[in-house]
Amino acid sequence: MKPRAAGYQYSPYGDRTQTLRQIDRYNASFTRVPASPLIPRPVTLSEQTGPIELPRRWNAGKLALSRAVENGPRAVGQLIRVSGRVTDEDGSPAAGVVMEIWQANAAGKYVHAMDDHIAPLDPNFVGQGRLVTDEDGRYEVFTVKPGAYPVLYSGWWWRPPHIHFSILGQSWMNRFITQIFFPGEPLNETDLLLNGVPSHDVRERLIFEHGDTVMGDLSYINYRRDFVLRGHRRTPELA
């Protein structure tokens, strides 16, 4: 990966372009988000730097979630290809950075000890993995479309299908985690986390773009989502 120039700048995340910190009826946000205001601080070398060796440490490269093992049986569900490009605020590629992906299976069940939902696991679906973006910041993963699932304690809340993304940039300041939803899902209308945003525009950026369908030896549906990590180069001063 190419190191970033020292002139890289990071502005605080804007409240108008980000998910709200506290969301009505999302109870944990009222017991875990600090009551005191966040404290402004300068960004020093300590925060401008970050882990650059994670691809090697984790031996990450390409990722496919549509099978548990290479050439093994396909996981149950609708085969999809999720892809996009990761850039900084200038549109420059975030090349060679680790992306972590996790999701429920087609029945809405996670391979996770904390998932109490009575839905079947799929032996051909592990539901999580890591990849590394290419030189142009692009990523792609074949997987199956996740199912919806109930948030059992809530008594009403069903999560619409979504995929979780975690990106570890080359700086402590551009660490990024989100979840991306599917277009046209009825449950999108009632989901607390998708709708806990300040504007329609922010909401749209939490939803995949529906791409083309592909028919051939491998038939699948494309879903696309680009990500913009925080960070831009300092504007050059006029000579």
Partner 1 sequence: MKLVVSPCNTTGPFFPREFSDGNEDLTRRDGARARGEHIILAGRVLELGAKPTWNMVLEVWQADTNGIFRHPLDPRFAEVDPGFWGWGRARTDPDGWYRFRTVLPGGDQRIPHINCAVLGIGLTRRLVTTIFFTDAPDPVFDCVPGPELRQRLIARRDPSLNADGAAGYRFDVILRGEGETPFFVD
Provide CB contacts within 8 A for 84, sequence distance 6+.
138, 139, 224, 225, 226, 227
**Distance, CA of 45 to chain centre:** 27
Q: How far is the CB of 215 from partner 1 (least distance, A)?
A: 31
- From the list 10, 149, 220, 223, the catalytic residue is 149
> Could you confirm whether 13 is annotated as catalytic?
no
> Among 24, 73, 78, 112, which residue interacts with partner 1 (rule: CB under 8 A)?
112
> Among 124, 166, 195, 222, which residue interacts with partner 1 (rule: CB under 8 A)?
166
Alpha-helical runs (H) found in 80-183: none
Residue 204, classed as helix, strand or coil, is helix
Residues 39-58, interacting with partner 1 (CB under 8 A) = 39-42, 44-54, 57
77 residue type, one letter: G
> Could you confirm whether 149 is annotated as catalytic?
yes
**Stretch of residues binding partner 1 (CB under 8 A), selected from 38-46, 64-72, 137-145, 215-223:** 38-46
CA angle 39, 40, 44 (to 5 degrees): 125
**Binding to partner 1 by residue 32, rule CB under 8 A?**
yes
> Among 62, 73, 90, 123, which residue interacts with partner 1 (rule: CB under 8 A)?
90
Q: Which is nearer to partner 1, 27 or 78 (CB)?
A: 27
**Stretch of residues binding partner 1 (CB under 8 A), selected from 68-76, 136-144, 182-190, 228-236:** 228-236
Give phi and psi for 84, each to the nearest 5. Answer: 170, -165
The tally of CA atoms less than 13 A away on the side-chain side of residue 69 is: 2
**CB distance 77 to 219 below 8 Å:** no
> Among 67, 138, 224, 232, which residue interacts with partner 1 (rule: CB under 8 A)?
232
> Among 140, 176, 187, 211, which residue interacts with partner 1 (rule: CB under 8 A)?
176
> Could you confirm whether 159 is annotated as catalytic?
yes
DSSP E strands: which ranges in 41-110?
79-87, 98-103
**Stretch of residues binding partner 1 (CB under 8 A), selected from 61-69, 133-141, 168-176, 210-218:** 168-176
Cα 185 to Cα 103, 128, 182, 222, distances in angstroms:
16, 23, 6, 16
- From the list 74, 164, 224, 233, the catalytic residue is 164
